[in-house]
Amino acid sequence: MTNLFGFPTDHIPARPLTPAQIGALVKSLRDLQGWTQETLAELSGLSERSIRRIERGQSADRESLRAIARAFELDDIDVFSKPMAVPTAEHIAEYQRKLDAETVVVGVERLNGRSLRELLERTDALLPVYGGTDDVCEARFASLVDLVRDYVDVRPELTETFKLDMQRDFDLSLDVIATLGHAVVGGVRRAHVLAPRHDAPEDAGAPLNILYLKCEPSEKASTALRVLRQVQFGF
């Protein structure tokens, strides 16, 4: 079993949450989304003052907590009112160490055709991140990914004029996604191609710039993505 953060909680007893724990949980979920208190207030229908009070550990009524759960699109809107397995500081530190060893955080920005083309000028490989949206948007996103792959494959041979034509194609694809209430975020991570040796240092090997792309609801567009530290490519 895991909690709202994917933290393993099989060995942790469930207890009713205190107002302080609820506040810390709401803030942590908000930080994971990259939202401000103002954004959470707008999505939940509560005032920004109410969000500040809850995150400071002051008590909140059941309906306010339900509104926040809906804003986070949690399956159980009464999750904050039920007993929950809350990890200790030691559990969290251990989990964070494991998370940092296996993943990295990549800064991302909302893209338009031009910013996407500029990122592609320093990209060696593409890793789209699927999930978190509906089938229609996922299909549109997949079409954009196909365009981007085509660009990466033939980039050294492209004229500046053709690059601008591709940029317009990117804009058209992104505009379609925008009409569906979604946006595409992306960012480049500098990694290294490692030899198949367990004792090789992480910064050894040839440099590789990896572009991560993800399609998300516009009002919840991320500013950072947590991705696997080690990835495999078919080359």
Which CATH number is 76's domain given?
A: 1.10.260.40
Determine the pLDDT at residue 167.
Answer: 95
Q: How far is CA 22 from the centre of its chain?
A: 22
Assigned domain for 56 exists = yes
The confidence score (pLDDT) of residue 1 equals 43
Q: Are residues 116 and 222 in the same domain?
A: yes
Whether 69 maps to a domain, the answer reads: yes
Assigned domain for 18 exists: yes
User: Does the residue 4 lie in any domain?
Assistant: no
Which pLDDT score, from 0 to 100, does residue 153 have?
87
Range of the domain at 209: 102-228
Residues 6+ apart with CB under 8 A from 34: 221, 222, 223, 224
d(CA 180, CA 143): 14
Query: How many domains would you assign to the chain?
Result: 2
82 and 46 share a domain?
yes
Over its C-alpha atoms, the chain yields an Rg (Å, rounded) of 21
pLDDT along the chain (235 residues), means of 10: 53 82 89 87 95 95 95 91 76 76 92 96 92 89 95 89 94 96 96 66 74 92 88 67
DSSP 58-82: ----HHHHHHHHHHTT-S-TTGGGS
My answer on whether 106 and 79 are in the same domain is: no
Domain closes at, from 87, 115, 132: 87
Residues 114 and 209 in one domain: yes
Q: Would you state the pLDDT for residue 2?
A: 46
Quick one: pLDDT at residue 131? Answer: 85
- CA–CA gap between residue 195 and residue 212 (Å, rounded): 23
Please check whether residues 144 and 41 belong to one and the same domain.
no
Whether residues 63 and 113 share a domain: the answer is no
Measured between alpha carbons, how far is 42 from 220 in angstroms, rounded to an integer? 12
Candidates 121, 119, 96, 99; CA nearest to 109 is 119
From the list 2, 4, 22, 20, the residue with the least C-alpha distance to 12 is 2
Per the CB < 8 A criterion, the answer to whether 189 and 210 are in contact is: yes
Q: Long-range contacts for 52-61 (Cβ within 8 Å, ≥24 apart)? A: 54/19, 54/22, 54/23, 54/26, 55/23, 55/24, 55/26, 55/27, 55/30, 56/23, 57/18, 57/19, 57/20, 57/22, 57/23, 57/24, 58/19, 58/23, 59/19, 60/19, 60/22
Instruction: Write the DSSP string, 78-129.
Output: TGGGS-EE---HHHHHHHHHHHHHHEEEEE-EE--HHHHHHHHTT-SEEEEE
- What pLDDT does residue 234 have? 59
Q: Are residues 138 and 208 in the same domain?
A: yes
Shared-domain flag, residues 78 and 156: no
Which residues are registered as beta bridge partners of 190? 209
Say yes or no: 73 and 169 in one domain.
no
Determine the pLDDT at residue 10. 61
Residue finishing a domain among 87, 113, 138: 87
Instruction: Give the end of a domain, one of 87, 111, 131.
Output: 87
* H/E run at residue 50: helix 48-55
Residue 6 maps to a domain:
no
Shared domain check, 64 and 118: no
65 within some domain:
yes
Regarding whether 156 and 40 lie in a shared domain, the answer is no
In a domain, 57, yes or no: yes
Residue 97 resides in a domain: no
Q: Are residues 117 and 223 in the same domain?
A: yes
